[in-house]
Amino acid sequence: MKTIIKLENVHKVYQMGKVEVPAIRGINLEIKEHQFMTIVGASGSGKSTLLHLVGCLDTPTQGRIVLDGNDISKLSASELAQIRGQKIGFVFQQFNLLPNLTALDNVILPMIFQEVPRNKREKRARRLLTEVGLEDRLHHHPNELSGGERQRVSIARALSNNPPVLLADEPTGNLDSKTSKKIMKLITDLYKKEGKTMIIVTHDPKISEYTEEDIHLKDGQIISNGRETSKVVW
Amino acid sequence: MIREYFKISIRNLKTRPLRSWLTIIGIVIGVFLIIILISLGSGLEGAINKQLQMMGPKVVNILPGEISNMMTTMTGSLKLSDEDIEAVKKVRGIEKTLPMLWKAEIIRYKEEKQATLISGVPWKEGASFLQDDMGWSLEEGRWPEDRQREVLLGNAVKEDIFSKVKIGEDFYIEGRPFEIVGVLESLGNKQDDSMAYIDLPLFRQITGEREGAQIIMAKISEDAPTKKVVKEIKESLEETRRRKRNSDLPSFSVLTSEKAAEMFNQIMGLIQAFVYGIASIAILVGGIGIMNTMYTSVRERTREVGVIKAVGAKNSTIVTLFLIESGIIGLLGGLGGIVFGLGLAKVVAFILRAQAGFFIEASITPGLIIFGLLFSFGLGCLSGFFPARQASQLDPAEALRYE
């Protein structure tokens, strides 16, 4: 299978005043197309930083990240924005929906930035929201939705531009265990259906049970990699 | 796409209505000031120029007192003497002169008694002067005859001072009856419109103003050079005064319509500079208000900026979104300012006309409205520029972590 994401000796150092704080320390990683993987690590292990780097929200201090053939450290801010819009879908722990927009408009928003024609984007947004089970919540604002529903909207939003890569940062971190299970089921169902590359970052080892593969991070380094999963639970 | 951006920006403004409206009010005040000034200013200019045009270019007014000291001239406490009148008359190039006098008297019409200004006009030469060179015309009736107990009424006397005055009825001035023979068209200012005009010799008898004039109007013949004649009038007056009153040299002014326009424009210029200064400060404060609001809003929405960047918005998109927001604040402020400004200008014009008989047309051109709207939208964009740029340069990863 084709490699879609490749990290070569990636370092990320944050400047906190005069102190340099290394968050990622020399990570090498290859992620293939259609791979479904979890990055597990305690808080402060650098897992969110790694996800931001892969998602083109940040650029490495040192090393190379190649996303679908593009070396992202060489791209301008607006080219990075373009890549994020087209190739990456984000799902956040805090949902990060825009409070002023309805569920439908939140899903439409990324398509506006990609200049998808009006009728097309509305049709697609409706379809995606139906797929995540929110066909009767289209015109609700985020504050009128439950946590689980909000996360469904954010998953639909992540899929809006049909990106090859889906990145989820603690997608169940703000949900109770029952809702968490439902969301993970939705994500795995989507994986099976859409066959996208999916990376979930979590501190919860149980989440990794849903995925084919996991890597463990500690202090900005990978401590185990490439588990061929035998305990997939779906 | 710009339509969607407008929708998003409007929704953002709606989520903080109080702050948006307060900021808008700041702009309303500034634009309001500018609009009312421009519309009344050009209206005033139009009204004055119209009056000056009624007075032909070859007519000069000789007034007692220094024109720069308006108060002494206006109160009418200073007068020109008979010698002054003669001095003007004998200047070469003067075709005709018209000394004018006025005084307040109690007038009775039927049961009504009102204090009214009456003015003496030597009808023989005066009627043609007023018609041909000052642009006076009759609304009804005819001009009075020389040395007859006849009165010509200003337009406001008929309507505002006395009610339902009819031609042919009698008007009692100091107990003496005068027949009303005509009513003038409005002359464009309340003072002239409020006068009753009677024969000059009779005026002198009634009022006891045996000599002199408060103003002399003189017509320069068409072929004489105005400037030279004006100079000679001054010289003649100075000489007369030196001869008659020795060292005492009360001042006088010779005013051509050109000079009057110039003086008026000078005064207008000063007033406008002053008021525009104040309006500019108001606008500046409004603009700072927008900037302040936008900086606050960028700070509050840091995380939101991170989110929309994460879903593919470019820096330029973020700038556009925030600029539209501040532009809309400016535009709404401008709209409010225009509506209130023009509304008040209309009211002021109405009051001036009703109370002071001063005909100002608050001039409201589509150009002025478009200018106001563009200006305020531009002001909003300008004030929003730095906050917008700050928002666009937020690091998306950091912005997403912002609590």
What pLDDT was estimated at residue B351?
A: 83
DSSP state, residue B320? H
Q: Which residue of A has its CA nearest to B305?
A: A98
Predicted confidence (pLDDT) at residue B358 exceeds the cutoff of 70: no
3-state secondary structure of B216: strand
Among A43-57, A67-81, A159-173, B52-66, which stretch is predicted with the lowest mean pLDDT? Answer: B52-66
3-state secondary structure of A200: strand
Q: Which phi-psi region, left, alpha or beta, contains residue B339 (left: φ > 0; alpha: ψ -120 to 50)? A: alpha
Q: Are A160 and A133 in contact (CB under 8 A)?
A: no
Check if B273 contacts A (Cβ < 8 Å).
no
Predicted confidence (pLDDT) at residue A116 exceeds the cutoff of 90: yes
Check if B312 contacts A (Cβ < 8 Å).
yes
Predicted confidence (pLDDT) at residue B367 exceeds the cutoff of 90: no
Among A65-79, B32-46, B86-100, B241-255, which stretch is predicted with the lowest mean pLDDT? Answer: B241-255
Check if B52 contacts A (Cβ < 8 Å).
no
**Cβ B1–A115 below 8 Å, yes or no?**
yes
Out of A49, A100, A157, closest to residue B311 by CB: A157
Give per-residue pLDDT as tens, B295-348: 999 999 999 999 999 999 999 999 999 999 999 999 999 999 999 988 888 888
Closest C-alpha to B35, from B315, B350, B365, B260: B365
**Cβ A78–B314 below 8 Å, yes or no?**
yes
Q: Are B218 and B97 in contact (CB under 8 A)?
A: yes
Give the residues across from B132 on adjacent strands: none
Out of A78, A90, A115, closest to residue B311 by CB: A90
Considering Cα of B169, then B172, then B173, then B175, what sign does the dihedral take?
Answer: positive
Give the residues across from B109 on adjacent strands: B112
Q: What average pLDDT score do residues B354-378 get?
A: 79
Check if A95 contacts B (Cβ < 8 Å).
no
Residues of B in contact with A100 (CB under 8 A): 8, 11-12, 14-15
Q: What average pLDDT score do residues B66-95 get?
A: 73
Predicted confidence (pLDDT) at residue A88 exceeds the cutoff of 90: yes
What pLDDT was estimated at residue B59?
A: 85
Residues of B in contact with A115 (CB under 8 A): 1
CA distance A222 to chain B (A): 21
Among A119-128, A152-161, B219-228, which stretch is predicted with the lowest mean pLDDT? Answer: B219-228
Which helix or strand (DSSP H or E) is residue A224 part of? Answer: strand A221-224
- Order of strands, edge to edge, in the sheet holding A221-224? A88-91, A165-169, A197-202, A36-41, A213-218, A221-224
Residue with tokens 């010509």, as numbered in its chain: B152
Residue with tokens 């009051």, as numbered in its chain: B351
CB-count burial class (<10 Å; 0-12, 13-18, 19+) for B3: exposed
- pTM for the model stands at 0.74
As a residue count, chain A comes to: 234
Could you tell me the two tokens for B255? Answer: 């005013």
Give the residues across from A222 on adjacent strands: A217
Cα B365 to its chain centre, rounded Å, is 17
Q: What is the mean pLDDT of chain A?
A: 90
- Domain range annotation of chain B: 2-52+261-401, 79-249
Confidence grade of residue A38 (pLDDT, cut at 50, 70, 90):
very high
**Cβ B396–A58 below 8 Å, yes or no?**
yes
Check if B320 contacts A (Cβ < 8 Å).
no
Closest C-alpha to B105, from B165, B169, B174, B37: B174
Q: What ipTM was estimated for this complex?
A: 0.90
Task: Pick the residue of B7, B311, B314, B402 with the most A CBs within 10 A to test the interface with A by mutation.
Answer: B311
Which helix or strand (DSSP H or E) is residue B33 part of? Answer: helix B17-54
Strands A36-41 and A197-202, sheet pairing: parallel
Confidence grade of residue A231 (pLDDT, cut at 50, 70, 90):
very low
CA–CA separation, A198 vs A209, rounded Å? 14
**Cβ A157–B314 below 8 Å, yes or no?**
no
Predicted confidence (pLDDT) at residue A98 exceeds the cutoff of 70: yes
Q: Which residue of B has its CA nearest to A161?
A: B311
CA–CA separation, B332 vs B52, rounded Å? 40
Q: Which amino acid is at B94?
A: I
**Cβ A113–B313 below 8 Å, yes or no?**
yes
A3-224 belongs to which homologous superfamily?
A: P-loop containing nucleotide triphosphate hydrolases (3.40.50.300)
Q: What is the DSSP string of chain A?
A: --EEEEEEEEEEEEEETTEEEEEEEEEEEEEETT-EEEEEE-TTSSHHHHHHHHTTSS--SEEEEEETTEEGGG--HHHHHHHHHHHEEEE-TT----TTS-HHHHHHHHHHHTT--HHHHHHHHHHHHHHTT-TT-TT--GGGS-HHHHHHHHHHHHTTT--SEEEEESTTTTS-HHHHHHHHHHHHHHHHHH--EEEEEES-TTGGGGSSEEEEEETTEEEE----------
**Cβ B1–A112 below 8 Å, yes or no?**
yes
Q: Which amino acid is at B329?
A: I
Could you tell me the two tokens for B374? Answer: 């563009």
**Cβ B400–A100 below 8 Å, yes or no?**
no
Chains A & B: contacts with CB separation below 8 Å: 71
Residues of B in contact with A49 (CB under 8 A): 397
Torsion angles phi and psi, residue B297, rounded to 5: -70, -35
**Cβ A86–B312 below 8 Å, yes or no?**
yes
Q: Are B134 and B140 in contact (CB under 8 A)?
A: no
Out of B15, B303, B310, closest to residue A57 by CB: B310
Check if A16 contacts B (Cβ < 8 Å).
no
CA–CA separation, A157 vs A217, rounded Å? 28
Give per-residue pLDDT as tens, B148-186: 889 999 888 887 778 778 888 888 988 889 999 999 988
Q: Are B345 and B29 in contact (CB under 8 A)?
A: no
CA distance A173 to chain B (A): 15
Give the residues across from A107 on adjacent strands: none
CB-count burial class (<10 Å; 0-12, 13-18, 19+) for B391: buried
Q: What average pLDDT score do residues A75-101 get?
A: 92
| pLDDT over 90, % of chain B | 26
Q: Which of A168-177, B87-96, B189-198 has the highest mean pLDDT?
A: A168-177
**Cβ A113–B308 below 8 Å, yes or no?**
yes
Indicate the Cα dihedral angle B106, B109, B113, B115, nearest 10°.
Answer: -40
**Cβ B312–A85 below 8 Å, yes or no?**
yes
Q: Which residue has the higher pLDDT, A160 or B268?
A: A160
Residues of B in contact with A55 (CB under 8 A): 310
Q: Which residue of A has its CA nearest to B312?
A: A85
- HEC string of B94-121? EEEEEEEEEEEEEEEECCEEEEEEEEEE
**Cβ A55–B310 below 8 Å, yes or no?**
yes
**Stretch 59-88 of chain A: residues touching chain B, C-beta under 8 Å:** 77-78, 81-82, 84-86
